[in-house]
C-alpha cells in the first residue's frame, strides 16, 4: 500500500514550549489510523497541522497529490437556525463543486449517517445528531482522507455502533481514516494501526491483533507511567 500522508520529524512549538516533538508518521492509503493519548498529548495539534490550520515549527507534512480531506471536529457547531439539508447545502456551496450541491446526493449522505432531510432546525438536535451531521458534512467532497476528531463522543450505544459500522463501510470503500479518540474500545473495533502519544511524543505504535495485550492495557501501561 502507498503512503497517502507522511509526517517527517514534525515539531510544533508555542513560544518555547514544544507540544509536538519530532513526530514521524506514515499513513497508508485505505487504512484506519488512530492517534491515541491523554489530554495534552498533541493529537489535536497534529490534526490541525495536517489540515493546515496550524503551521509546523519544523519538519514536513506530505499529502498525496490531489488527495481530498474531509474533517469532522471534536466539538462541531452548525448554525442553529439551519436544517441539516441547509447545512449540507452551505458547505457543498463552499466546496465550489456544483455536482456536490445535488439534493439527492446530499440527502444520501445524511441518510448514510442516520439523519434525514427534515424541517427540524439544528438547534433542536441532540449532541449525537450533531455528531452525525459533522460526519455527513465531512463526506461532501467524497474525500480520500477523513479526519475524525472524537467521532463517537457524546453518542449513545446505538449511535456509536452506527458510526463504527459506517467507518467500516468507508474503509471498505478505500477511504483513509484518521481518528482521534479516547474511546479505546472503538479504536480496537475499527482501526488497523495507531500511535500512542504523550506530551507531544510517540511512546509506541499499536497494530491490531499484534499481541495478546489489549489496547486499553497497553495504553494504561504506557500513558500511566510518569
Partner 1 sequence: MEIVLNVVREKIRRKMLYITTILGILVVAIFSTGTGTLTVGGKSMNDYYVLVPILINVLNFLNGAIALAISCSTIPQEYERRTSHLIWSRGVSQSRYHMSLAAGNVLVSWISGVILYLTLGVFAVVNGYSEMLGRIAVASLFMMLYAACICMLTSALSIKIPTLFTGTIMVIILVCGALRSALNLMTAALTGFGGAVIKRAVLLIPNLAGISTQAGNLVQERPVNVHVIIMGLIVIWIAGLLVITLRREEA
- Does 40 sit near partner 1 (CB under 8 A)? no
Measured CA to CA, the distance from residue 190 to residue 31 in angstroms comes to: 10
> Between residues 127 and 168, which has the closer beta carbon with respect to partner 1?
127
> Between residues 51 and 189, which has the closer beta carbon with respect to partner 1?
51
What is the dihedral sign for C-alpha 181, 184, 189, 192?
A: positive
Helix (H, G, I), strand (E, B) or coil at 110: helix
User: Are the beta carbons of 2 and 29 closer than 8 angstroms?
Assistant: yes
Binding part of the chain for partner 1, among 27-35, 50-58, 161-169, 170-178 by CB under 8 A, reads 50-58
Q: Which of 128, 165, 171, 126 is nearest to 150 (CA)?
A: 128
Binding part of the chain for partner 1, among 17-25, 26-34, 72-80, 150-158 by CB under 8 A, reads 72-80
Binding part of the chain for partner 1, among 44-52, 102-110, 153-161, 162-170 by CB under 8 A, reads 44-52
- Does 48 sit near partner 1 (CB under 8 A)? yes
> Between residues 46 and 219, which has the closer beta carbon with respect to partner 1?
46
Query: How is the beta sheet containing 58-63 ordered, strand by strand?
Result: 17-28, 3-14, 58-63
Query: How is the beta sheet containing 201-207 ordered, strand by strand?
Result: 69-72, 145-149, 176-180, 32-37, 193-198, 201-207
Letters for 130-159 (x = contact with partner 1 by CB under 8 A, - = none) are -------x---x------------------
Measured CA to CA, the distance from residue 48 to residue 189 in angstroms comes to: 25
Interaction with partner 1 in 169-208: which residues (CB under 8 A)? none
> Between residues 91 and 219, which has the closer beta carbon with respect to partner 1?
91
Which residues form the interface with partner 1 (CB under 8 A)? 48, 51-54, 69-71, 73, 75-79, 81-82, 90-91, 93-95, 137, 141
Amino acid at each position: 500500500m502507498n503512503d497517502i500522508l507522511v509526517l517527517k520529524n514534525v515539531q510544533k512549538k508555542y513560544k518555547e514550549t514544544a507540544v509536538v516533538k519530532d513526530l514521524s508518521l506514515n499513513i497508508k492509503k485505505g487504512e484506519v489510523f488512530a492517534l491515541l493519548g491523554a489530554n495534552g498529548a498533541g493529537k489535536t495539534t497534529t490534526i490541525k497541522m495536517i489540515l493546515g490550520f496550524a503551521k509546523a515549527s519544523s519538519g514536513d507534512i506530505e499529502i498525496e497529490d490531489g488527495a481530498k480531506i474531509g474533517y469532522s471536529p471534536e466539538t462541531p457547531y452548525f448554525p442553529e437556525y439551519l436544517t441539516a439539508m441547509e447545512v449540507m447545502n452551505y458547505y457543498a456551496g463552499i466546496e465550489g463543486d456544483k455536482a456536490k450541491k445535488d439534493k439527492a446526493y446530499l440527502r444520501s449522505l445524511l441518510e448514510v449517517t442516520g439523519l434525514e432531510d427534515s424541517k427540524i432546525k439544528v438547534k433542536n438536535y441532540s449532541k449525537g445528531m450533531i455528531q452525525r451531521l459533522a460526519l455527513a458534512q465531512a463526506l461532501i467532497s467524497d474525500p480520500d482522507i477523513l479526519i475524525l476528531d472524537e467521532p463517537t463522543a457524546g453518542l449513545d450505544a446505538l449511535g456509536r455502533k452506527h458510526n463504527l459500522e459506517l467507518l467500516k463501510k468507508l474503509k471498505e470503500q478505500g477511504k483513509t481514516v484518521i481518528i482521534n479518540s479516547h474511546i479505546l474500545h472503538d479504536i480496537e473495533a475499527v482501526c488497523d494501526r495507531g500511535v500512542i502519544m504523550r506530551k507531544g511524543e510517540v511512546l509506541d505504535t499499536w497494530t491490531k491483533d499484534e499481541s495478546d495485550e489489549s489496547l486499553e492495557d497497553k495504553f494504561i501501561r504506557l500513558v500511566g507511567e510518569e
